[in-house]
Amino acid sequence: MTDSTGPVRDNPRTRPAKAPLSRQAVIAAALGLVDEAGYAAVTMRRVAQALDTGPASLYVYVADRDELMAEAYDLALAEVEPPGPVDGDWRARLELLVGRAIAALGGHDDIALVAITRVPTGPNALRLLEATMTLLRAGGVDDSVCPWAADVLDQYVTSSALELAARLRDQRAVAAAGGAAEATEEAMSRAAGSELDAIYGELPADVYPTIHALRPAMTTAGRNGHLYATWKLGVIIDGLLAHRRHP
């Protein structure tokens, strides 16, 4: 029962080099696994498997799963470069910064979920917070409400990144379902969010008159478009500008 495979094990230490196995390697493997398998599929065991080791080895470099995901979140933010003076005035730069953050986070499945449970305090999160508040101050936002404004923008980034991730997931599902024609059609309609439209459509018009009347505008296609994103960001920035001064 002790020796199951026989004479020499498969790879006890046949390969002496392997990988040095550092904290950075563990975090990078976790983020890579988020990309290829999805946020929910990232487990300590699978991260260890990707590094060709056992789950216990990870705990030398990482306290627990929460800390690992928090570090992966910050690593995802590392690719965001704050706009410079060549990118226009403070508002154009702020829109660019927010857009880049959403693109970076949304490109790594639901990694933005990390920012909901805990306030991110990684180096990249702090770097972007600094950049955001600097731009807000340049826009004339009062010092006393600047942190509040950054908070509002942060919530916008997080929720928009999750929306983007969901859209990309649906798109990939559509692309993957290239087999049968009927399956493709079903996937297409799913991607269009028509299951939600179906729910709205089956609602009695007398109890839900407004939903019924606005249903043409409630398609998920319109909700996911580029117009929607820019409109929403415009709403928030203009709202912030209207409340620049302290109440």
Instruction: Tell me which residues touch a copy of itself (CB under 8 A).
Output: 113, 116, 119, 121, 126, 129-130, 133-134, 137, 143-149, 151-152, 155-156, 158-159, 162, 196, 199, 203, 207-211, 213-214, 217-218, 222-223, 227-228, 230-232, 234-240, 242-243, 247
**Six token digits for residue 142:** 């009062």
Q: Which residues does 229 contact at the CB level (< 8 Å), separation at least 6?
A: 99, 102, 160
Q: What one-letter code names the amino acid at 61? A: Y
Residue with tokens 């829109």: 95
Stretch that binds DNA, among 45-53, 73-81, 90-98, 110-118 (CB under 7 A): 45-53
Q: Could you say whether residue 20 binds DNA (CB under 7 A)? A: yes
Among 6, 8, 13, 179, binds DNA (CB under 7 A): 13
Q: Which of residues 99-158 bind DNA (CB under 7 A)?
A: none
**CA-based nearest residue to 90, from 240, 247, 243, 245:** 240
Instruction: Return the one option of a copy of itself, DNA, none that residue 8 interacts with (CB less than 5 to 8 A, by type).
Output: none
Helix (H), strand (E) counts: the chain:
12, 0
In the complex with DNA, which residue's Cβ is closer, 18 or 245?
A: 18
Angle at 8 between CA 6 and CA 14, to 5 degrees: 150
